[in-house]
Structure 1
Amino acid sequence: MVFSIRRWTSRVFFILIFSVLLLIVTGGYRWLADAVSPIHPYREPKGDALKVFVTDPDSPDSKHAADRLRWFYWYGE
């Protein structure tokens, strides 16, 4: 078996350069995604702002299948 040092060093050099460039590109992508992304919608409001949650109304107490089916299609519950 012939072991060529020149060939193996070129392979190792290629893998190192590829890894470094991959880390640079992924870091740049993370930075760009953080810079472009909108403000986090679930963060705590600042100042006098209040966060309001909408709750779904209670399900109908009716035992009729049509009412329960309408409720299911309307609210997805």
Structure 2
Amino acid sequence: MIFSLRKGWRFIRFIVLFCILTFLLYSALERLSSWITPIQHYKIPEGNAVKVAGTSITDEQQERGLWQRLRFFYWYGE
């Protein structure tokens, strides 16, 4: 089996460049996401704002089946 040093060097250079660019893209997306997300996710609403999540269960929620509640859980992520 014959190994070409030029092809091997190109392959190693490609892998190194790919890893560097992947790291740079990941870093850029991480900085962008930290800039977009609010600082305090669960702070108390101020002014006329109303907090949506509550602990009380209404009659309508009690009548729903297991699949409806599971679908609601995956839909809203709560």
TM-score bracket relative to the smaller structure: 0.5 to 0.7
List gaps (5 residues or longer) in structure 2: 45-50, 65-78
Larger helix proportion of the pair: 2
Match of 2:14 in 1: 14
In the comparison of the two structures, how many residue pairs are matched? Answer: 56
Structure 1 runs of 4+ aligned residues shifted over 4 Å read none
List gaps (5 residues or longer) in structure 1: 46-51, 60-70
Q: Which has the larger radius of gyration?
A: 1
C-alpha separation in 2, matches of 1:30 and 1:39: 15
C-alpha separation in 2, matches of 1:55 and 1:22: 43
Shift of 1:37: 1.3
Of all paired residues, the percent bearing the same amino acid is 23
Per chain length, whose mean CA-contact separation is higher, i.e. which structure has more relative contact order (CA < 8 Å, sep 6+)? Answer: 1
What root-mean-square deviation, in Å, do the aligned CA atoms of Structure 1 and Structure 2 show? 2.5
Is it true that 1:56 corresponds to 2:56 in the alignment?
Answer: yes
- When the two structures are superposed, what TM-score results if normalisation uses the length of structure 2? 0.58
